[in-house]
Amino acid sequence: MILAGIVLSRRNFLPGEILMSISDSALYAPQSSIFTEIFDKKYRFTVSNFSYQAASILGGSLAPVILRANQSSLVLVTLSYVLVTFISVLLIAETKGKKI
């Protein structure tokens, strides 16, 4: 959806922006439940806040640097972020039956 939003935003701003907003919501919605499950309650708030701050720094600064340095397309950079996210989700351990 993000890639479709990028393509649409170049041609027609409103549909692209709406599609990207929906995809952002789809990404942020499950994060709170994932953080609740994978981190101990003693550290949960600190870890979730740190991860949001680190992600904003890395996501907000790394992508423009890569785009500028390599003259690569936005789709390739977005695909690399999608790949990292996919691998991260696969590596999360199942917490069913564990005391959270």
% of the chain at pLDDT higher than 70: 84
Distance CA 36, CA 66 (A): 32
pLDDT of residue 26: 76
Distance CA 18, CA 45 (A): 30
Against a cut of 0.85, is the pTM above it?
Answer: no
Q: Average pLDDT for residues 30-45, to the nearest whole number?
A: 80
The confidence band for 100, taking pLDDT boundaries of 50, 70 and 90, is: low
User: Which residues have C-beta within 8 Å of that of residue 6, sequence separation ≥ 6?
Assistant: 16, 20, 74, 75, 78
The domains of the chain are located at: 2-91
Q: Average pLDDT for residues 26-54, to the nearest whole number?
A: 81
Quote the DSSP letter at residue 71: -
Distance CA 6, CA 78 (A): 9
Q: Average pLDDT for residues 21-33, to the nearest whole number?
A: 76
pLDDT at 59 > cutoff 70:
yes
Across the chain, mean pLDDT equals 76
